[in-house]
């Protein structure tokens, strides 16, 4: 390998590493929320009574801190409870977002199954995947039409207390914020390049032919792209299954 | 958004039947929005039949909670719409749903298609007007989300909140086979998206909306006669 090619390779690795690190930091806050929520569950358990909505109120401080720590990057955060995890609500969301005046506001959604506006979150990827695997997960980019109303990533981690799935802790990151980080370094690469999610959806690129939301599928003209850096190439264990691809010469 | 929040509050019973709503200016202050926004929200709710405004000294805006027969309750808002309104909303929905379906055919992943099929199953399993309307709305909103477009998704949500309650009204006494056929149209639409056939998906979506509009116009005409 020539030294020019080597430095090109290093630059590609650094690009995905820096992006994964910036977004991955949000996982630390999600883990913090998870610990705080599980701490409440552990404290309540010996009393033999079930968790109640009011038990979750003390999480609001942790959520506000997480929102402040990632101000301008994380659009919302909180915990989302599994059906019947609480004694006094079948479904419950303790989720806060920064409103237009940057003040944390509780997300209010309709959780009455008989209502026309009922929001059943148990079918969403960010809820289901941590439930299924027991591991943290990043969903997206996807159109979040409940909370941010924008193109969004949701990072989530399962709340498992005494072997029981109680729900998830999570945070939303706007896709536009991730793009803001990615585009300058992508634009400096000498070839057409794109970063995709693990399932092949374009997160960001330096070409008008590869716009966010597109899917790189084999057999398509835009798919003459080959993966050059994956999460496995990064110097630490990344939870973001993202891939950097460049155009095949 | 404000109208949706208030409509939710009424449906959930947080605002009771006959309860007087605050004045426009006070409502605006309470919700942290402009007076114009609050006024628009009240107008939308009046259109949905959820709020009644009386003039005069004992006047004001009052909550009309969804009591009585659900379909009978929907007749008032439908009668307030002109046929031209119904057609125009149908055109708007056909444009949005058609574009969303075409883009979804290009951009949906296998897991998105799987999600759409689950929502279709929920629509099949739904009973009655409210459940069907909810499952139907969710499916169409998910198609717009599968198109990866927040704007088209917002348009679908807004159109469904304006006219969604009325869309299943003409089928409230329809035979099971008729309802099954309408639901099957969604299955064909999802198949076209799964086949990555954007043009077929767009045509199926706009034809589906046009048929729906036609049913609503017919229903509205018969209602006008009685």
Residues in a beta bridge with B20: B62
Quickly list DSSP for B182-222.
Answer: HHHHHHHHHHHHHTT-HHHHHHHHHHHHHHHHHHHHHHHHH
The verdict on domain B70-225 having CATH code 1.10.287.3510 is: no
User: Which domains does chain A possess?
Assistant: 20-174 (3.30.450.20), 177-247 (no CATH)
Q: Which of A180, A176, A174 is nearest to A155 (CA)?
A: A174
- Nearest residue, CB atoms, B150 vs list A114, A123, A149: A149
Residue A150 has pLDDT above 90, yes or no: yes
Question: Band of the pLDDT at B42, cuts 50, 70, 90?
Answer: confident
Mutate to test the interface with B, among A91, A104, A143 (most CBs of B within 10 A): A143
Q: Does residue B23 or residue B167 have the better pLDDT? A: B167
CATH topology of domain B2-63: Arc Repressor Mutant, subunit A (1.10.10)
Q: Which of B58, B86, B112 is nearest to A200 (CA)?
A: B112
Q: What integer best gives the mean pLDDT of chain A?
A: 92
Distance from CA of B82 to the nearest CA of A (A): 24
Burial of B59 (0-12, 13-18, 19+ CB in 10 A): exposed
Residue A158 has pLDDT above 50, yes or no: yes
Q: Is B120 helix (H, G, I), strand (E, B) or coil?
A: helix
Distance from CA of B150 to the nearest CA of A (A): 5
Answer yes or no: is the ipTM higher than 0.85. Answer: yes
Distance from CA of A3 to the nearest CA of B (A): 39
**Phi, psi (5° rounding) for residue A104?**
-65, 135
Classify residue B56 by its DSSP letter: S
Entry pTM: 0.82
Residue A4 has pLDDT above 90, yes or no: no
- Lowest-pLDDT range of A4-13, B67-76, B79-88: B67-76
What's the pLDDT score for residue A204? 97
Q: Where in chain B is the domain with CATH 1.10.10.10?
A: 2-63
Classify residue A196 by its DSSP letter: E
> Which residues from chain A sit within 8 angstroms of residue B134, using beta carbons?
115-118
Q: Is B127 helix (H, G, I), strand (E, B) or coil?
A: coil
What's the pLDDT score for residue A128? 96
* DSSP H or E segment with residue B54: strand B51-54
Q: Where in chain B is the domain with CATH 1.20.120.530?
A: 70-225
Q: How far apart are the C-alpha atoms of B197 and A176, rounded to whole Å? A: 29
Residues 6+ apart with CB under 8 A from A188: none
- Nearest residue, CB atoms, B107 vs list A112, A116, A213: A213
- Count contacts between A and B (CB, < 8 Å): 68
Query: How far lies B121's CA from each of A197, B117, B139, B185, B190, in Å?
Result: 28, 6, 10, 13, 12
> Which residues from chain B sit within 8 angstroms of residue A125, using beta carbons?
111
Residue B130 has pLDDT above 70, yes or no: yes
Distance from CA of A2 to the nearest CA of B (A): 39
Tell me the pairing of strands A137-143 and A193-196. Answer: unpaired
- Which of residues 177 through 236 in chain A touch B, CB cutoff 8 A? 199-201, 212-215
Residue B18 has pLDDT above 70, yes or no: no
What's the pLDDT score for residue B9? 58
- Tens digits of per-residue pLDDT, A229-243? 999 999 888 889 999
- Nearest residue, CB atoms, A214 vs list B11, B107, B144: B107
């Amino acid at each position: 390998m020539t030294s020019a090619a080597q430095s090109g390779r290093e630059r590609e690795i650094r690009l995905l590493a820096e992006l994964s690190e910036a977004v991955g930091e949000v996982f630390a806050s999600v883990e913090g929320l998870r610990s705080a929520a599980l701490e409440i569950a552990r404290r309540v358990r010996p009393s033999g009574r079930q968790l109640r909505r009011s038990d979750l109120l003390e999480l609001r401080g942790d959520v506000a801190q997480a929102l402040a720590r990632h101000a301008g990057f994380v659009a919302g955060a909180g915990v989302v409870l599994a059906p019947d995890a609480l004694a006094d609500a079948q479904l419950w969301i303790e989720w806060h977002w920064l409103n237009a005046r940057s003040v944390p506001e509780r997300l209010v959604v309709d959780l009455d199954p008989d209502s026309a506006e009922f929001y059943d979150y148990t079918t969403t990827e960010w809820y289901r995947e941590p439930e299924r695997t027991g591991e943290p997960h990043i969903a997206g980019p996807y159109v979040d039409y409940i909370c941010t109303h924008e193109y969004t990533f949701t990072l989530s981690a399962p709340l498992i207390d005494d072997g029981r799935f109680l729900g998830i802790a999570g945070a939303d990151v706007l896709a536009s914020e991730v793009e803001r980080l990615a585009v300058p370094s992508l634009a400096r690469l000498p070839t057409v390049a794109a970063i995709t999610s693990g399932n092949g959806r374009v997160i960001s690129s330096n070409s008008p032919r590869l716009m966010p939301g597109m899917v790189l599928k084999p057999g398509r003209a835009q798919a003459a792209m080959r993966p050059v850096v994956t999460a496995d190439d990064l110097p630490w264990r990344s939870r973001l299954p993202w891939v950097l691809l460049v155009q095949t010469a | 958004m404000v109208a949706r929040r208030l409509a939710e509050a009424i449906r959930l019973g947080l605002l009771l039947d006959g309860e007087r709503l605050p004045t426009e200016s006070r409502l605006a202050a309470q919700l942290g929005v402009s007076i114009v926004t609050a006024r628009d929200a009240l107008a939308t709710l009046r259109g949905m039949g959820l709020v009644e405004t009386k003039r005069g000294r004992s006047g004001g805006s009052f909550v009309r909670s969804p009591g009585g027969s659900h379909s009978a309750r929907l007749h008032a808002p439908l009668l307030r719409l002109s046929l031209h309104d119904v057609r125009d909303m149908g055109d708007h929905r056909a444009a949005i749903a058609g574009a969303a379906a075409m883009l979804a055919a290009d951009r949906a992943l296998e897991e998105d298609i799987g999600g759409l099929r689950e929502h279709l199953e929920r629509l099949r399993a739904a009973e009655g007007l409210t459940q069907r309307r909810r499952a139907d709305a969710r499916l169409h909103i998910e198609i717009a989300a599968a198109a990866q477009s927040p704007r088209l998704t917002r348009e679908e949500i807004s159109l469904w909140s304006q006219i969604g309650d009325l869309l299943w009204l003409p089928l409230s006494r329809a035979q099971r086979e008729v309802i099954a056929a309408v639901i099957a149209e969604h299955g064909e639409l999802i198949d076209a998206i799964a086949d990555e056939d954007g043009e077929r998906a767009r045509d199926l979506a706009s034809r589906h909306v046009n048929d729906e509009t036609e049913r609503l116009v017919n229903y509205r005409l018969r209602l006008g006669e009685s």
